Structure 1
Amino acid sequence: MFLTTISATDEDSGRNAEIVYQLGPNASFFDLDRKTGVLTASRVFDREEQERFLFTVTARDNGTRALQSQAAVIVTILDENDNTPKFTHNHFQFFVSENLPKYSTVGVITVTDADAGENAVVRLSILNDNENFILDPDSGVIKSNVSFDREQQSSYTFDVRAVDNGSPPCSSAAKVTINVIDVNDNPPIVIYPPSNTSFKLVPLSAIPGSVVAEVFAVDGDTGMNAELKYTIVSGNGRSLFRIDPVTGNITLEEKPTVADTGLHRLVVNISDLGYPKSLHTLVLVFLYVNDTVGNSSYIHDLIRRTMETPLDRNIEFKKPPS
């Protein structure tokens, strides 16, 4: 490929004015016609590998005592748009808290282009997101256009496209996933007992260790925010009952006696292990210690009357009517 013609003059005449040209070192990519000074490329250039070549050319006459001079030659390789934009990751993963305010920054997309000038200017766009996010086409900053709620949607995935300003333009695409991290914003929800007015019969024949009632709750969060702990906080003054902190099963600590007959109101606290602050729920568990239920209306009347008693007060040992 022709590049240019190197030309020199000599004010002598005859052979003393005849000039030959010779390439100096570092010119292995070029050929130079010794007589005409025509400089050509001996191979295809790649600007991304080497953008500039610097070498010398010697012009020498054919005189008996040859004289010569040198000139520096600089060859600059012009850019062609032969590189597509390159994302730093094929799949970007970002993590955000579900309480992050709307229009907050959730991540930054980074992309490069090995070309130069306008061929290296890249603009970004979102391909398929339903306007949940806003992408700055120049900086790659992604901002939320929604209020996150992990319990409603735990992740968002969409594609981004990068297009350079070359002619014709080159483009590429990458995937983006926004993962919503759980925040402890859901208190435990009691599943069982189904209401605060139900009760369980505990016969006097029950043996220590037997399960007399169950408490079960769920939490809409995840991880430690959904791990639950069960505790009896009131109504167990004689320590007759014990609750498993993990399963919520209530068992007898000792065999009940006649002195234990009547209605017992246990206040059970169900708390999650969330950080930095746990959430909790209280549930009432009514246990009627007696051989038989007898008059169920009387028991339900007792339960209604306990609703007027503060939760930190015991209402145990109410005798059934004779």
Structure 2
Amino acid sequence: MKSEYHVSVVMRDGVGEPAAQGFPRRAIQVRVVDVNDNAPQFLQSHYLIDIEENNPPGASLLRVCAQDADSSLNGQVTYKLGQLSHMAAVIFRIDQNTGQLTVSALLDREQQDVHRLTVVARDNGSPPLKSSVMVTITVLDQNDNAPDFLTPHFIFFLPENIPPLAQVGKMGVSDVDTRLNGEVEVTEVNSSVGPFVIDNVQGTLRYMADVDCEKQDRHELDLLATDNGRPSPLTSVARVTVFIEDVNDNQPQVILPSSNLPCLTISTGTTTGTMVTKIYAIDEDSGLNSEIKYTIAARESPGTSPSSHHHDDSSSSPFQLDTRSGNVTLAHGDGGKPAPLHTTVWVNLLVNDTLEPCHLETLPRSLPYRLAQTPSEKPAETPACDRHARLILLVGLGIMVASLCLFLVTVVLYMKQRKRSRGERQQRRGVNENQIPLRIQERYSSGEAL
């Protein structure tokens, strides 16, 4: 507080009267010898400093200052950094005499945004005294990082019956910068392409309009991510592929036969195993949804009304339908001996959602074989035995008619012949009316009496 005192000593007599003029006066100089009893004291209790990242190497940060109330060597202060990590010890330097703190390397806010250092001030007393202070260095952000997509190529799968505005997937974009430098907006490079919209609030891609796998099974779009950094925003791009997953929403379309009217005539000489016709259909769906299986939904049984149907029974029909190819083949024929009998019939194939029978509007004018009547052409089909009996009856009736005609012709001829004979007899009788019969003449000549 005070290093030197000056004391004046004045001599007095024994009575206590003031000394006369000329009495001796002495001045005593007292010097206080310093002892190192004060540690260095920093002017601030905590130092704060901001510095932008990507600083030039060797840039000055700040100068710390500590004072020591002692004098001479006891008041001389030197500075050093406290215990640091290896990286911090390489980056930061302090001048031990002036307390100037500098940074010797580039600072990267994305790696570490805050550095905390301890600066120690020590005097040269014996023993020395010291004190420390905290220095906080905040690294300010620069727009030195472009937006980063999670992947350069996003792949999403979307069912074609997804409701509108449903989420397709997360875009996964980020920016390690902060504040405006880290705010990212994603847009489509070609905004008019595809039925999709970008939700920047949720960071998702959403479905906007109808998607149809049969029209387009996938969509390609390019995304552009832009941050709000100033003065020059940074950008990056990514590709998005959206595969439209097929939903079984299309009914099979029958190509063959072309309508419900075409019919097929089968020759009586067709051998077993011959393909007699083919059903061909396509499905606009894909994958398993497009695989078509052919089955007989209903069959019009002989002898029943057109509205009566029953399920397929392969044992009751000579025809077989292949479930995969749609081929209709002749599975077996009539097993009669010695030669199989065949009946040629129309095969009407109706492919429809309902079970309505197939009705033909017209029939071919000429066919190589006589067709049997189908249930749609008459109320009920006559059994084979009845047909044979009817044929026999017709033949019998024909024979009877022919016999009757022959009999009438014979009678007419007989009557004509008889009439002719009678006319000749009458004529002979008129000529020989007066002649004697030969037998009577003989009697006359022999003298016999009549």
- Contact kept, 8 Å, 1:53 with 1:76, in 2: the verdict is yes
**1:45-124 paired onto structure 2 within 5 Å:** 45-124=107-186
Q: Which residue of 1 aligns with 2:324?
A: 246
Structure 1 CA distance for aligned equivalents of residues 381 and 116 of structure 2 = 98
Q: Which ranges in structure 2 are unaligned for 5 or more consecutive residues? A: 1-58, 301-311, 335-339, 361-365, 392-450
Structure 2 CA distance for aligned equivalents of residues 128 and 202 of structure 1 = 61
* TM-score normalised by L of structure 1: 0.82
**1:229-244 paired onto structure 2 within 5 Å:** 229-233=293-297, 234-235=299-300, 238-244=316-322
Structure with higher helix content = 2
- Provide the identity percentage: 35
Relative contact order, CA 8 A, sep 6+: which one is greater?
Answer: 1
**1:115-264 paired onto structure 2 within 5 Å:** 115-130=177-192, 132-167=195-230, 168-233=232-297, 234-235=299-300, 238-256=316-334, 257-258=340-341, 260-264=343-347
Higher mean displacement: 251-260 or 23-32: 251-260
The answer to whether structure 1 residue 32 and structure 2 residue 115 are counterparts is: no
Cα displacement (A) at 1:316: 11
Q: Which residue of 2 aligns with 1:41?
A: 103
Pair 194,82 (structure 1): closer, same or farther in 2 beyond 3 Å: same
- Contact kept, 8 Å, 1:263 with 1:315, in 2: the verdict is no
- Contact kept, 8 Å, 1:54 with 1:73, in 2: the verdict is yes
Pair 7,315 (structure 1): closer, same or farther in 2 beyond 3 Å: farther
Pair 285,115 (structure 1): closer, same or farther in 2 beyond 3 Å: farther
* TM-score normalised by L of structure 2: 0.60
- 1:163 alignment partner, SS class: strand
Structure 2 CA distance for aligned equivalents of residues 211 and 166 of structure 1 = 75
Higher mean displacement: 253-262 or 29-38: 253-262
- Contact kept, 8 Å, 1:232 with 1:268, in 2: the verdict is no
Structure 2 CA distance for aligned equivalents of residues 140 and 245 of structure 1 = 49
Q: Which residue of 1 aligns with 2:14?
A: none
Structure 2 CA distance for aligned equivalents of residues 215 and 316 of structure 1 = 31
Structure 2 CA distance for aligned equivalents of residues 108 and 317 of structure 1 = 73
Cα displacement (A) at 1:232: 2.1
Q: Which residue of 2 aligns with 1:13?
A: 71
Q: Which ranges in structure 1 are unaligned for 5 or more consecutive residues? A: 270-278, 287-291
1:8-62 residue CA offsets vs partner (Å, 9 max, x unmatched): 1111122221110011121411111000000000211111112222232110011
Cα displacement (A) at 1:282: 9.5
Cα displacement (A) at 1:102: 2.7
Q: Which residue of 2 aligns with 1:273?
A: none
- 2:288 alignment partner, SS class: helix
Structure 1 CA distance for aligned equivalents of residues 228 and 355 of structure 2 = 59
CA radius of gyration, larger in? 2
- 1:161 alignment partner, SS class: strand
